[in-house]
Structure 1
Amino acid sequence: MIDRRSLLTLAVGAAGAFAAPGVLAQSPKPRTRIVFLGTKGGPRVGVGAANPANLVVVNNTPFVIDCGMGVSRQLVSAGVPLPSVKYILISHHHSDHNLEYGNLFYNAWAAGLSTPIRSFGPKGLEAMTRSFWELNKFDVETRIEDEGRPDPRPLLIAKDINDDGVVLKTEDVTVTASRTPHPPITDNFAYKFETPDGVIVFSSDTAYNPKLAEFAKGADVLVHECLYVPAVDRLVLKTKNGATLKKHLMDSHTSTADVGRIAAAAGVKTLVLSHFVPGDDPEVTDDDWTRDVKTSYSGRIVVAKDLMELKLPV
């Protein structure tokens, strides 16, 4: 019987820089890699793709970008021990990006975490962190006393991001934030990772934003959200709040055609499509996601799948 990882290997193994976690276990791990933990946009939880989350690993240091529902399980499925996570970055305060923020840290603590995790996100992250500890005070203090665990509260070090600029700098990685519009949310950040093996940019959820092309100029990899208009039209027909939902989606996200324009203007080497809107329409094919992108962008295009990995340099 061929398991899910084997199928993923068959699907993407020929892409050169891509592999499933099982493949990496049989060969030396690259110094820098991206794992697409959850590729479906939106808060709905289903049996298909997981909710939004990404992972960058540089010299064995994991950076988690966004914490949609299921991020802890996806990290484990990707072969990443939860206590090894060092950094969490939240792009914006929509639930499909922050709902498992506190729980990811808690799950790492339950798995043996004893070293700090630093987290970064738009204004409100520090308050959210305090609220998480208040919500879970009884459980945490019971387990400290009853199980001899270290107090986790000092180990989650949260910092609000108020402006564009460098938010994190380590020996290997510099992370820079750039505000991008996601109406009605304005405190919403794209992130750029400058690594020893290349530059990676995550668009966050965003309306069409030419300034994002400037931010991603010359990047080795641009991971960009995308919206497929015909599928949105099908979605709103079966949704009670269809008209309102469609206006939000069209105002707040980037169509596949406009994603191509951003990638072309930025001159990125590889464009990865992810955070699919909608992400659970079985009629949408990879060709549908890429067709309009190709009208503007002639570079390498990858349609992300859950647990797919991309090694750098590409």
Structure 2
Amino acid sequence: MTTHQPLDNAQATAYRTRVTLLGTSGGPPWWDGSDRAGISTAITVNDSVYLIDCGEGWGPRYRKAGLGPAGFQKGLDDLRGVFITHHHSDHMVDYPNLLLLAWHNGSDGLRQPVQVYGPGDRRVLPPIFDETNRDPIPEVFNPESPTPGLEESTARLLQAYALDINDRMRDNAKQDLREIFEFHDIVLPGTTGDDPNGDPSPAMEPFEVYADENVRVTAILVDHRPIFPAFAFRFDTPDGSIVVSGDTGVCSNLVTIADGADILLHECIDMDWVDSLLGPNSARPDPNLMQHMLAAHTAIEEVGAQAEAAGVDTLVLTHLVPGNTPVEKWQQAQQGFSGHLVVGEDLMHFGLGEPR
């Protein structure tokens, strides 16, 4: 049984399996009139925590959500795994905080390596949109490695902070970060994804990324063109299943991985706002960004049908763009969906199974 009504911190602890919305805003802008943090979600099973994405501000929200043990420097002690849906900055901008602040927000529990999974190297650059009308053509940034995966990106991040890392290890006797975390590029099965600039989400079956005594995590490609790979994740637990869509347009693979899930956390965008800001009749038309918004995200009017096709029990809207659209507008996503709809807010919890 899924608890459809959001729970507070105290109520949530009664559930062996629970979902916590740490940040519910899509980015990368800072939204006027909104205090939503950047996109991040936590799933807790048997007091082990699995973090999905590291949007701006996830760390203080993690502490405020009561996910870690109480006490000084114990916040991250129960963190077991981290899963990055894709390499857009609003999903990873506070990823360095996870690595560099772990020393100061975790005690002996962090000596069990935290497993970190994310997309691998794209291998080829994305095409230039509307190339014939682009002058000048943008130069390739970091041409020696322009599309790094999680493992390489992380290594480069740690190199950038070498002074701090060496100081902490030599002066403060801190443990080597490479013993605290283990990093993994998610490897696509077979020949799937051989053409990143073709179909970004070819029909496929979910494949296993990670498993332990609490969860089995599977992934599937979703359509967030031209970003590739972009993943949705499914967490199957003893008390039910949770799917995190990542960023995606309308996509049959999302329906496949969400089939029969108890909770679907799905991104959503207000296309009326997009049109007013970027459309041809706006003050500053931007056809380049406009085409990305239309193709790579799911509109309020579209998300309910996705959830209905998957037969999910509860649809929770998150990664809301813009972050300051009124709740009443998001509630229109009920259109085409017969289940329970919740407009996500930071620090909402949902319980799965029976209270213990």
Fold conserved between structures, TM > 0.5 = yes
Task: Give the distance between the partners of 2:351 and 2:322, measured in 1 at CA.
Answer: 27
- Residues 269-284 of structure 1 aligned to structure 2 (within 5 Å): 269-280=313-324, 284=325
Task: Give the distance between the partners of 1:239 and 1:40, measured in 2 at CA.
Answer: 25
- Structure 1 stretch 80-89 or stretch 260-269: which is displaced more? 80-89
User: What is the percent sequence identity of the aligned residues?
Assistant: 37
Contact 1:178 1:215 in 2 (8 A): yes
What one-letter code is carried by the residue in structure 2 that aligns with 1:44? P
Contact 2:54 2:95 in 1 (8 A): yes
Task: Give the distance between the partners of 1:28 and 1:184, measured in 2 at CA.
Answer: 40
- Structure 1 stretch 104-113 or stretch 83-92: which is displaced more? 104-113
CA deviation vs aligned residue, 1:170-215 (integer Å, no higher than 9, x gap): 0120000001110111200000000011010011100110221121
Task: Give the distance between the partners of 2:261 and 2:283, measured in 1 at CA.
Answer: 38
User: Secondary structure of 2:250's match?
Assistant: coil
What one-letter code is carried by the residue in structure 1 that aligns with 2:351? K
CA gap 1:239/1:245 in 2 versus in 1, 3 angstroms: farther
Question: Where does structure 1 differ by over 6 angstroms across 4 or more consecutive aligned residues?
Answer: none
Contact 2:114 2:180 in 1 (8 A): yes
CA gap 1:199/1:102 in 2 versus in 1, 3 angstroms: same
What one-letter code is carried by the residue in structure 1 that aligns with 2:296? S
- Structure 1 stretch 117-126 or stretch 233-242: which is displaced more? 233-242
Which of 104, 108, 112 aligns to 2:98? It is 104
Contact 2:221 2:253 in 1 (8 A): no
What one-letter code is carried by the residue in structure 2 that aligns with 1:105? L
Task: Give the distance between the partners of 1:301 and 1:233, measured in 2 at CA.
Answer: 25
- Residues 199-218 of structure 1 aligned to structure 2 (within 5 Å): 199-218=241-260
Task: Give the distance between the partners of 1:109 and 1:202, measured in 2 at CA.
Answer: 28
CA deviation vs aligned residue, 1:96-124 (integer Å, no higher than 9, x gap): 11121121122122223442111001000
User: Secondary structure of 1:18's match?
Assistant: coil
The Cα shift of 1:45 comes to 3.4
- The match for 2:26 is 41
What one-letter code is carried by the residue in structure 2 that aligns with 1:194? D
- The match for 1:119 is 116
CA gap 1:105/1:85 in 2 versus in 1, 3 angstroms: farther
Task: Give the distance between the partners of 2:228 and 2:239, measured in 1 at CA.
Answer: 31
Task: Give the distance between the partners of 2:30 and 2:98, measured in 1 at CA.
Answer: 17
User: Secondary structure of 1:86's match?
Assistant: strand
User: Secondary structure of 1:264's match?
Assistant: helix
- The match for 1:75 is 62
What one-letter code is carried by the residue in structure 1 that aligns with 2:97? N
User: Secondary structure of 2:100's match?
Assistant: helix
- The match for 2:171 is 146
Normalising to structure 1: TM-score of the pair?
0.88
- The match for 1:307 is 347
The Cα shift of 1:52 comes to 0.6
What one-letter code is carried by the residue in structure 2 that aligns with 1:19? L
The Cα shift of 1:240 comes to 4.9
Normalising to structure 2: TM-score of the pair?
0.78
> More helix per residue: 1 or 2?
1
- Residues 1-314 of structure 1 aligned to structure 2 (within 5 Å): 17-21=5-9, 23-24=10-11, 28-46=13-31, 48-80=35-67, 81-113=75-107, 114-115=110-111, 116-123=113-120, 124-163=149-188, 165-236=207-278, 240=284, 242-280=286-324, 284-291=325-332, 293-313=333-353
Contact 1:201 1:222 in 2 (8 A): yes
Structure 1: gaps of 5 or more residues? 1-14
Task: Give the distance between the partners of 2:256 and 2:283, measured in 1 at CA.
Answer: 37
The Cα shift of 1:244 comes to 2.2
The Cα shift of 1:29 comes to 2.9
Contact 2:4 2:340 in 1 (8 A): no
Task: Give the distance between the partners of 2:48 and 2:14, measured in 1 at CA.
Answer: 12
CA deviation vs aligned residue, 1:54-94 (integer Å, no higher than 9, x gap): 00011000100000111111111112312331211000000
Tell me which of the two structures has the higher relative contact order, counting C-alpha pairs closer than 8 angstroms and 6 or more residues apart: 2
Structure 2: gaps of 5 or more residues? 68-74, 121-148, 189-205
Contact 1:133 1:153 in 2 (8 A): no
What one-letter code is carried by the residue in structure 1 that aligns with 2:353? P
Task: Give the distance between the partners of 1:136 and 1:300, measured in 2 at CA.
Answer: 45
Contact 1:63 1:85 in 2 (8 A): yes
User: Secondary structure of 2:243's match?
Assistant: strand
The Cα shift of 1:296 comes to 1.0
